[in-house]
Amino acid sequence: MATKAYVLIETAVGKTRDVMHSLGGVSGMDAVDAVTGPYDIIAVITASDLNAVGEIVTEKVHTIGGVNRTVTCLSVSVG
């Protein structure tokens, strides 16, 4: 079963568009949306397992210029 995560991203001032463009090219990225509120972008990742999600976040998302901070929220089944 695939693992799904929501990544809440805070960007540097004026960098949201650039970060969104870079995130669009990341493998495993299902959606990238600019949002209002305390975060600038919410991205949705689907990967094979938790370790794969962690690799995408640490090796792909965190290395994008303009990304200041992230919070990763794993999707869980409650039914």
In the prediction, which pLDDT does 79 show? Answer: 78
Q: What is the mean pLDDT of the chain?
A: 96
Task: Specify the DSSP element, H or E, that contains 52.
Answer: helix 50-55
Q: Tens digit of pLDDT for each residue in 39-64?
A: 999 999 999 999 999 999 999 999 99
pTM: 0.94
In the prediction, which pLDDT does 77 show? Answer: 87
Flag whether pLDDT at 1 surpasses 80: no
In angstroms, the CA 54 to CA 5 distance is 10
